[in-house]
Amino acid sequence: MYQFNYKKVETVQEAVNELSANPESKILAGGMTIIPTMKQRLASPEQLIDIRNIEELNFIREESNNIIIGSTTNHFTVSSSDLIKEKIPSLSMLAEGIGDPHVRNMGTIGGAISNNDPTADYPAACLGLGAKIKTSKRDLTAEEFFVSLFETALEEDEIVISISFPIIKNSFYMKFPNPASRYAMAGVFISKNESDVRVAVTGASENGVFRWNEMEESLSNDWSKSSVENVKLSPEGIMSDIHGSSEYRANLANIMAIRAFEGINE
Ligand X SMILES: Cc1cc2nc3c(=O)[nH]c(=O)nc-3n(C[C@H](O)[C@H](O)[C@H](O)COP(=O)(O)OP(=O)(O)OC[C@H]3O[C@@H](n4cnc5c(N)ncnc54)[C@H](O)[C@@H]3O)c2cc1C
Task: Return the one option of another protein, ligand X, none that residue 154 interacts with (CB less than 5 to 8 A, by type).
Answer: ligand X
Pick the binder of ligand X from 14, 47, 89, 103 (CB under 6 A): 103
Applying the rule CB under 6 A, the residues between 24 and 43 that interact with ligand X are 26-34, 36
The site map against ligand X for 62-91 (x = CB under 6 A) is: ---------x--------------------
The site map against ligand X for 131-170 (x = CB under 6 A) is: -----------------------x----xx----------
Residue type, 243: H
Distance (Å, whole) CA 129 – CA 238:
23
Full DSSP string of 60-114: EEEETTEEEEETT-BHHHHHH-HHHHHH-HHHHHHHHTSS-HHHHHH-BHHHHHH
Smallest separation, CB 32 to ligand X (Å) = 3
Q: Distances from the Cα of 260 to the Cαs of 76, 112, 129, 170, in angstroms? A: 22, 22, 14, 11
**How long a stretch of residues is the chain?**
266
Smallest separation, CB 11 to another protein (Å) = 18
Task: Return the one option of ligand X, another protein, none that residue 208 interacts with (CB less than 5 to 8 A, by type).
Answer: none
Distance (Å, whole) CA 191 – CA 40:
38
Smallest separation, CB 217 to another protein (Å) = 36
**Is 246 a residue that touches ligand X (CB under 6 A)?**
no
Phi, psi of 200 (to 5 degrees): -120, 145
